[in-house]
Amino acid sequence: MGARQSAVVITVVLAACASSAEGLACGATSPCPESYVCAAGEQATFRCMLACDLTETVCSNGAICLPIAPGGGGACFLGGLGDHQARCGLDLDCGRGDVCVETPGLGSYCWYGCNRDHPTTCPAAGSECRARDTNIAYCF
């Protein structure tokens, strides 16, 4: 590839990265662009996250739609540090695409999130999409 072609590829890649606000730091003096909300993420750092409709568990970007505050809508959570099937205490503990589900007598673990109106979103053969509560569903 010649020098000119390399420059074009780099310019396109940089432009694509710059157009996404997901994960950028935000706050009172640095608001998020339209379609994003400023929400607390891992370790209470505020980041721009895609706004979402709480009727869906899984966002179009593969993240989990979590409520921001009572009546505040939802944000596509970027993901915590917990691995799939790791112990958790909150949804914020789980990695991108997972939700924290309590298993009676065994504790709480990170499981794949799914949309109840699209049950085929569960990755493992034979797993089904189950409701955890009003807004959240998981694959089991």
Cα distance between the two ends of the chain: 48
Close Cβ partners of 121 (under 8 Å, ≥ 6 residues apart): 58, 114, 115, 129, 139
Give the start-to-end residue ranges of the domains of the chain. Answer: 21-139
* pLDDT given for residue 16 in this prediction: 34
Q: What is the pLDDT of residues 5-48, one digit of tens each?
A: 333 332 222 223 334 899 999 999 999 999 999 998 767 789 99
Structure tokens at 13: 């890649």
Structure tokens at 61: 């970007």
DSSP 20-83: --TT-B-BTTBPPPTTEEEEE-GGG-EEEEEEE-TT-SB-TTS-EEEESSTTS-EEEE---SBP
Burial, 2: exposed, middle or buried (Cβ in 10 Å; 0-12, 13-18, 19+)?
exposed
Estimate the share of the chain in helix, then strand, then coil, as percent rounded to the nearest 5.
20, 35, 50
Q: Is the pLDDT of residue 83 over 70?
A: yes
* pLDDT given for residue 44 in this prediction: 74
**Three-state DSSP string of 29-45:** CECCCCCEEEEECHHHC
Q: What is the pLDDT of residues 117-133, one digit of tens each?
A: 876 678 888 889 999 98
> What residues form DSSP beta bridges with 113?
138
- The mean of the pLDDT values for the chain is 82
* pLDDT given for residue 42 in this prediction: 66
Close Cβ partners of 26 (under 8 Å, ≥ 6 residues apart): 32, 38, 46, 47, 48
